[in-house]
Amino acid sequence: MSASESYPDDLLYHPEHDWARIDGDEATLGVTWYAQDALGELVHYEAPDVGATVTKDASYGEVESVKAVSDLISPLSGEVLEVNQQVVDAPETVNEDPYGAGWLIRIRMTSPDERMELLSLDDYRKALEAG
Amino acid sequence: MVPFAGWEMPVQYEGVIPEHRAVRADAGVFDVSHMGELEVEGPTARDLLQATLSNDIDRLAPGEAQYTLVTNDAGGILDDVIVYRLDEHRYLIVANASNAAVVHDWLKEHELRGSDVRDVSEEYALLAVQGPRALERLGLAPAQAFTWVMDEIDGVEVMVNRTGYTGEEGVELACMVDDAVELWDAVLARGVVPCGLGARDTLRLEVCYPLHGNDIGPQWDAISSGLGWACALDTEFTGVETLRRVKADGPVQKLVPFVMTDKAIPRQGMAIQGGGEVTSGTMSPVLGLGIGLGYVPAATAKTGTELVIDVRGKPRHAQVSKKPLYAKERT
């Protein structure tokens, strides 16, 4: 059961189809509706370890559908505080609710200014339209 | 749609997983018209096929079908095919799309006086209707596996073959290419779910049917590939001496099915520790586990042996399993 297409306006976006929800010095990360739709039903989430370091624009994990593997690109740098175990156990949660129950990791940002480089909803939509 | 052996093929319609489940629970249809068809005809057709195919063609009566291999001089597999005996001196070979030309040329090369090999791929469309309710939905009488009859479905004349590539009961319907759309629509109207290449791959892998180009090929002999059961070593065919020797000495490497015991999905090309390689891998939609086929040294080919697979730099554990990985009675 897939969610219908949406892009919330309270998120910051990365051109590799990842989103960040910033709360103080912490951020929650996930993939956008577009990413989950392109991959199809997810069947595996290779998550980073809690305490691991993630770097902006670098891979912090993988998601897989039956046919394809995709790197998860971090929109921000930081330290992993929490991994969404619900997605590890039931990866299709990302397809059902990519911005809610389907979040992937929570981090403590180490370079909060990096947020300035992320896309607003409008800019992400433009990037999507430009293909 | 993706390019596949020169054809544009759908990977999925609704999704690999729902399509896979439809075939396991009810019925699904795959357009496999890309498969190649060759006709071999003439008083020496039998001799030609006995000399070039691994299985014993003499066990095949008109109305029957047989899984067999086209082997090279080293016992390697040029293609795995199904041969249908149409009548006393006429056979239909259904070959993999990407190998149809190879098989055609190979048979032509070995052609005998009194046998004629023709590529008739352009004349036929082929729809595989598979699943426990496939025959019922098509209004077909139950029939033994590996038999065929001429019949008619909603006015379309079809050759009904009790064969398939999913491990389910089902049929492969061959019709004239001009009737293909009508037949496809008729099958869908009977409530059969359209399925793409993605589900075809996950279904065949759950029941450990090898895919030519992934799991079997000219570089591996048929015994090492686990297809000794399709080789009549008491008959004379290309490569049989090598196959007899491999059988007598025991293969060095074997193709084995395995199930991941760690949470991970094996993929084609991944290394197996101790000298081996994954040739096919996926997530089994029914088992909910990573499954695959791969070559391992014979010493580690026993059921239950633990394997370590290099999943993009991470060691992940798997266990050699029995065929098939999925069987109805287990679920």
Task: Say whether residue A1 is in contact with chain B using an 8 A CB cutoff.
Answer: no
Residues B16, A62: C-beta atoms closer than 8 Å: no
Instruction: Verify that B244 and B302 share a domain, yes or no.
Output: no
* Prior bond of B62 cis (ω within 30°): no
Q: Which chain A residues have a beta carbon less than 8 Å from that of B265?
A: 43-44, 64, 69
**B142 within a domain of the structure (yes/no):** yes
Instruction: Verify that B173 and B285 share a domain, yes or no.
Output: no
Beta carbons of B72 and B218 less than 8 angstroms apart: yes
Chains A, B: CB contacts within 8 A come to: 36
Indicate whether B20 pLDDT > 50. yes
Which residues are paired to B214 by β-bridges?
none
Indicate whether B6 pLDDT > 80. no
* CA A2/CA A94 separation, integer angstroms: 9
As a whole number, the mean pLDDT across chain A is 95
Which CATH number covers residue B77? 3.30.1360.120
Within 13 Å and on the Cβ side, how many CA atoms surround B71? 32
Which CATH number covers residue B263? 2.40.30.110
| pLDDT at residue A1, as a whole number | 59
Cα distances from A22 to residues A13, A29, A113, A122, B299, in angstroms, run 11, 9, 12, 18, 54
Task: Count the residues in chain B.
Answer: 331
Cα distances from B229 to residues B166, B225, B252, in angstroms, run 19, 11, 18
- When CB atoms are compared, the residue of A41, A44, A88 closest to B265 is A44
Burial class (CB in 10 A: 0-12, 13-18, 19+), B319: middle
Instruction: Verify that B315 and B210 share a domain, yes or no.
Output: no
The CATH number of A12-116 is 2.40.50.100
Q: Domain containing B316: what range?
A: 253-322
* CA A89/CA A93 separation, integer angstroms: 9
pLDDT single digits (tens) A30-79:
999 999 999 999 999 999 999 999 999 999 999 999 988 999 999 999 99
pLDDT single digits (tens) B132-148:
999 999 999 999 999 99
Instruction: Verify that B32 and B146 share a domain, yes or no.
Output: yes
Residues A67, B11: C-beta atoms closer than 8 Å: yes
How far B91 CA lies from chain A's nearest CA (Å)? 36
Q: Whole-model pTM?
A: 0.92
* CA A78/CA A70 separation, integer angstroms: 21
Task: Say whether residue A100 is in contact with chain B using an 8 A CB cutoff.
Answer: no
Give me the interface pTM, i.e. the ipTM: 0.84
Neighbour-count burial for B169-202, b at 16+ CB within 10 Å, e otherwise: bbbbbbbeeebbeebbebbeebebbbbbbbbbbb
**B327 within a domain of the structure (yes/no):** no
> How many domains does the structure of chain B reveal?
2
